[in-house]
Structure formats: structure tokens, C-alpha cells
Amino acid sequence: MLRRLYEWILRLAATRYAMPALAGVAMVEATFPFAPPDLMLAPMVLARRERAWVYAGICTAGSVTGGMIGYAIGFYLARVGNEILALSGHANALAAFHAWFAQWGLAVILVKGLTPVPYMLVTLASGLAHFSFPVFVGASVATRGGRFFLEAALLQHPKAKAIIDRYFYWIAVAGIVAIIAAVVLLRRFGGV
């Protein structure tokens, strides 16, 4: 199934729908529980290496825009924000965010924006906590942009596609294990 999704996204990269689809996925993932945009960004960069920076920029813009929407939901529609967190299994995210922020300050947004933890936790909790909007946006641009541009740079290597095609299942399993480990560690030590 993952292989078919990967191949479908490689084909999508050759169509006019590639960039709007990437922006849409990045935007939705920052506000609601959804697949990370990396699942689209990586195959698209592999399919069209010359567009790596464009794809990373679109992914960053979509994610930050979605983050601003998530922040607004938390800030102005607290009940809706709390319901989204509860429905996604993260009912205590606001309390955890307050605890993390008290301990680490801005580093919370910087670290969470780079990890495979759902970004919507940061966006909704930041709005619910009435965190500084300009600082939130700046941190989001830095972390999401850093993550997506680094990914694009790594995947732009001429041998990247051949390596991924050859070891696809091992890479997919390693990615799934890394995401599960990150979530387990955060639940265990971070209170998510």
C-alpha cells in the first residue's frame, strides 16, 4: 500500500495539481489530525529534483498558513480547539504546552515544529494559550521551513531516488518506528 501511494505521488508531481495538493496537505496537517506533508514532499522532490526548492517553499507556506488557522481556532474558538485536541487523543495538550513553555520557553515551538509530532498540537495549543502571534509565526517559519528545506536538500541528491526505491520498505518501516517512538516518548515524558 505504501509503495502504491509513493508511486501515485511520483506521478502526481508531473501534473498541474502537484503544487496545490502539496499546499493543501501542509495546510490541513497544521490544523487537524492528518498525514504529514513529508509524505507528499519527498516523492515530489524525488520525481522533479529541479523543483525541490519550490516544493519546499510551497510546503512551508502551506504549513505556516495552516498553523495560523490552527492558532486562530485556539485563540478565538477555544471550545472548538479543545474538541479537536480531544478528538485526536490529545485532550491534555494545552496543559502540557503550558508546562513545556514554563520550562523551555520558545524552544517548545522550535523543537515541536521540527519533529514528527503532529504540528496541530503546537498550533492549537499556542492559540489556546494566547502565545505571542508574531513570535509563533516566526518560529513556525523557521522550524517548518528548516524541516522542509532540509528534506528537499537531502532528497535532491542524484542517488536519493535509487536508494529509496531500492530500500523503500526498510525506510518506510524505520520512519513508522521513528514516529511511534517519538509519540511514545512524548506521551511518557512530555504529557501529550
pLDDT digits (tens, 9 = 90+) for 45-59: 988 999 999 999 999
Confidence class for position 114, pLDDT limits 50, 70, 90: low
Domain region containing 160: 2-190
Query: Total domain count for the chain?
Result: 1
169 vs 78 pLDDT, higher one:
78
Q: What is the pLDDT of residue 19?
A: 92
* CA–CA gap between residue 147 and residue 89 (Å, rounded): 25
Does the structure show a pLDDT above 70 at 116? no
Average pLDDT over residues 152-173: 85
What is the structure's pLDDT at 36?
84
For residue 77, what pLDDT band results from cuts at 50, 70 and 90?
A: very high
Distance CA 156, CA 48 (A): 9
Please report where in the chains the cell 485556539 appears, as a residue.
Answer: 74
